[in-house]
Amino acid sequence: MTDLNPLLDMVRGDLSDNKFAQKCGIPRVSISKYRNNHAFPSNDTLDVIAKASGLDPVMVYLLAYAERIDNPDVAKRLKEMAQENNASDTIN
């Protein structure tokens, strides 16, 4: 089951879902659909979310797609790769 809530919480930071949606230029209802597993953001939307949050798009994609993949081993590895990528960005 897809659970984008941890990712959405991370990318919005201290902003409400409504304020973050406005910052991204996407409808608030889209954020609600992502939170309630009624939709998955397109790649274009993931790009916008990454840019608006200031997070590395690679990490955003890895975390998002880790939630979409049914294979738990692959999902786990994608999450590990996101953490590794985030750590290397901090160092560089």
Domain that residue 25 falls in: 5-91
**CA-based angle 8:86:50, to the nearest 5?**
40
Q: Which CATH number belongs to the domain containing residue 32 in this structure?
A: 1.10.260
Chain centre to alpha carbon of residue 40: 10
Q: How many domains are there within the chain?
A: 1
**CA-based angle 47:73:35, to the nearest 5?**
40
What pLDDT does residue 89 have?
55
34-44 burial code (b ≥16 CB/10 A, e <16): beeeebebeee
What pLDDT does residue 26 have?
96
What pLDDT does residue 45 have?
96
What pLDDT does residue 87 have?
64
- Cα distance between residue 22 and residue 43, in whole Å: 18
pLDDT along the chain (92 residues), means of 10: 85 94 96 94 96 93 92 94 74 36
